[in-house]
């Protein structure tokens, strides 16, 4: 029986693990499908104070710190949570294991929203990608599109501009309203990045007799490219929860809807900005709430 089980291995999850470990609570982190979640995919993390490395380097540093205080980890994803009659929880995982705990911290984060146009699903992994840092290497010296207009899209475009021959950012609005000014300036300064505003795609298909893609816009213009990188927002990872847990429009969890002994942190928590710094803050808060809950039960 664990004191605390933390679902998710992003900044929120590891922060919670550090605090719980330091409080001498028997702590397990169930990492999820990919260590570090979205943060682990950031090639250069610039906006987290005091850090000047990649996202994965930060995650590994946090993991080592949490483990130094006794936290353990399990490479698995939760598929279900059972509330037991004695007030404890059972976490059922996709590797066939079940773990019991007195408290649970939900820190499962969010995943990239899928591009819902003709051909996108069929070409996923064959020209359509949701991770520039994972797949950008394969497009060295080639022509790519980035779909989206927020910080993630511009960061992806800047990363790809150093690898690809050319990058076109396709965005449905007239300018990048949501992206930070420093990123907009960097995009403008890159000679091999072109911004295509007021444009949406309606389909993507393999070019006949070629490995190139043809992206067709809603006004029937065709853009030929070698790859498409999608960065159009995120949806919270909450499929393992019952419908009794209240969520917002993108699936994030409302704290007040959680049963006793369950807490939430990071990008899966409603009404917070989806940033590393806020994830760390909510991880700290959730851990302190869990510790206080456990101490009150003694």
Catalytic residues: 131, 134-135
- Cα separation, 19 vs 1, in Å, equals 19
State whether residue 60 is helix, strand or coil.
helix
Tokens of 113: 């929203």
Give the side-chain half-sphere CA count within 13 A for 200: 9
- Cα separation, 137 vs 164, in Å, equals 9
- Cα separation, 3 vs 275, in Å, equals 28
CA 247 to chain centroid, in Å, comes to 17
Measured in degrees and rounded to the nearest 5, phi and psi for residue 210 equal -150, 160
- Cα separation, 168 vs 161, in Å, equals 10
Residues paired with residue 81 on neighbouring β-strands, in sequence order: 91
- Cα separation, 36 vs 57, in Å, equals 10
């Amino acid at each position: 029986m664990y004191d605390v089980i933390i679902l998710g291995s992003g900044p929120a999850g590891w922060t919670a693990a550090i605090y719980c470990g330091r409080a001498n609570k028997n702590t397990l982190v169930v990492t999820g499908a990919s260590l570090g979640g979205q943060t682990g995919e950031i090639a250069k993390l610039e906006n987290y104070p005091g850090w000047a490395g990649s996202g994965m380097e930060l995650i590994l540093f946090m993991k080592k710190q949490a483990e130094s205080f006794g936290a353990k980890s399990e490479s698995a994803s939760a598929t279900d949570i059972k509330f037991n009659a004695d007030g404890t929880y059972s976490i059922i995982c996709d590797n066939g294991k079940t773990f019991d705990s007195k408290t649970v911290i939900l820190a499962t984060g969010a995943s990239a929203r899928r591009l819902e146009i003709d051909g996108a699903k069929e070409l996923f992994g064959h020209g359509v990608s949701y991770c520039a840092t994972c797949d950008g290497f394969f497009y060295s010296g080639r022509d790519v599109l980035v779909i989206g207009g927020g910080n993630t899209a511009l960061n992806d475009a800047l990363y790809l501009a150093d690898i690809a021959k050319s990058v076109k950012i396709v965005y449905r609005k007239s300018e990048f309203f949501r992206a930070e000014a420093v990123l907009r300036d960097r995009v403008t300064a890159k000679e091999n990045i072109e911004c295509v505003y007021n444009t949406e795609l309606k389909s993507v298909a393999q070019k006949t007799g070629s490995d190139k893609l043809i992206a067709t816009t809603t006004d029937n213009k065709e853009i030929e490219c070698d790859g498409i990188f999608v960065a159009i927002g995120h949806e919270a990872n909450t499929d393992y929860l019952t419908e009794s847990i209240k969520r917002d429009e993108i699936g994030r969890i409302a704290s007040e809807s959680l049963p006793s002994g369950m807490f939430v942190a990071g990008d899966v928590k409603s009404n917070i900005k989806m940033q590393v710094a806020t994830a760390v803050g909510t991880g700290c808060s959730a851990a302190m709430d869990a510790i206080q809950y456990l101490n009150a039960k003694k």
